[in-house]
Amino acid sequence: MTDFASVILAGERDDRDALRDETGVACKALLDIGGTPMIRRVIDALRSAQSIGTIHLSGPTEACVQSDAGLAGLVARKEVAWVASGPSPSTSAHQMLSRFPASQPVMITTADHPLLTGEIVDHFCRGAAKSGCDVVIGLAPYDLVRATYPELKKTVLRFRDGGYCGCNLFGFLTEDGRRVADFWRQVEKDRKKPLVVIRLLGLWSLLSYRMGWLTLDKALARLSRRVGVRIGVVILPYAHASVDVDSVSDYVLVQQYSAEGRGGA
């Protein structure tokens, strides 16, 4: 199996954050989920994955790292490599990708992914390595997510052949693929607005999307031409792959899912 370097984006988006205010934690990455800080759940998933060779952390602040003994220990023992984050997730991703040799495949995820497992990571990395693409994005079928977590509010990409939810899993397989990080910076502020992102592909793509004519394959082909790299997807058969913590309501639900043992549903 191909060894991927892994990156966890764990920087803070804003000076004020409702989740931090509600829970009193120093940074969002340290939110407690089932007795374990969220970021350490992500690290544990990566450590258990056969496809991951190294683990790199972009953020949180050094003070936040040191405030959690478990996380500080992982960094001190060099089991996890830590660097300060950039001003935004896309900038952090761009900076982190530049740290690796051009031939090194890199998988990027986020610290607010508390139900991630090694099984999900390996499924994604196997699919990415076989795709023949420069960049691969993880998606989960919306029908599966809705059936498993009906209370969860998710942004849905709706295509003629079905709806999909993002999974905060991105594979960069080639040097060319790293150019997508620049495109990411263009669309980052509108990441929750599918219509704005689709508009970047052109008026016909926007019309096709609005009318329900655009298939996922056609969208990928047009996006690949727009960016100038081969972009693919891995469809993940795990509803919990799409669960992240963006709000207080998400946090309450994820705590509930963890207590009920629904994380591996």
Return the structure tokens found at 238.
Answer: 């795990």
Q: Class of 4-254 per CATH?
A: alpha beta
Give me the residue spans of the domains in the chain.
Answer: 4-254
CB 187 within 8 A of CB 226: no
H or E element at residue 231? strand 231-235
C-alpha pair distances (Å), 111 with each of 12, 27, 61, 232: 10, 11, 13, 23
Classify strands 135-141 and 231-235 as parallel, antiparallel or unpaired: parallel
Q: pLDDT (tens digit, 9 = 90+) per residue, 222-242?
A: 888 888 899 999 999 999 999
Burial label for 148, CB within 10 Å (0-12, 13-18, 19+), is middle
Report d(CA 12, CA 34) in Å as an integer. 22
Per-residue confidence (pLDDT) for residue 211, from 0 to 100? 47
Q: Over the stretch 139-163, which tens digit does the pLDDT of each residue have?
A: 999 999 999 999 888 888 888 888 8
What was the pLDDT predicted at 80?
Answer: 97
Task: Give the whole-angstrom CA distance, residue 76 versus residue 259.
Answer: 31
Give the pLDDT of residue 185: 64
Percent of the chain's residues with pLDDT above 90: 52
Q: Are 55 and 6 in contact (CB under 8 A)?
A: yes
Average pLDDT over residues 233-258: 90
pLDDT band at residue 66 using 50, 70 and 90 as cut-offs = very high
Q: Which residues, other chains included, contact 134 with Cβ-Cβ below 8 Å and sequence gap of 6+?
A: 172, 173, 174, 176, 177, 180, 229, 230, 231
Q: Which two tokens stand for residue 225?
A: 């031409």
Provide the pLDDT for residue 207.
46
User: Which structure tokens are listed for 207?
Assistant: 């019309």
Task: Collapse the DSSP code of 208 into the 3-class scheme (helix H, G, I; strand E, B; otherwise coil) and give the result.
Answer: helix
Q: How far apart are the C-alpha atoms of 3 and 136, rounded to whole Å?
A: 16
Residue 137: per-residue pLDDT = 93
Q: What is the pLDDT of residues 70-111, one digit of tens each?
A: 999 999 999 999 999 988 888 888 899 999 999 999 999 999
Q: Flag whether pLDDT at 265 surpasses 50.
A: no
Residues 6+ apart with CB under 8 A from 156: 142, 163, 164, 165, 194
What is the pLDDT averaged over residues 114-131? 97
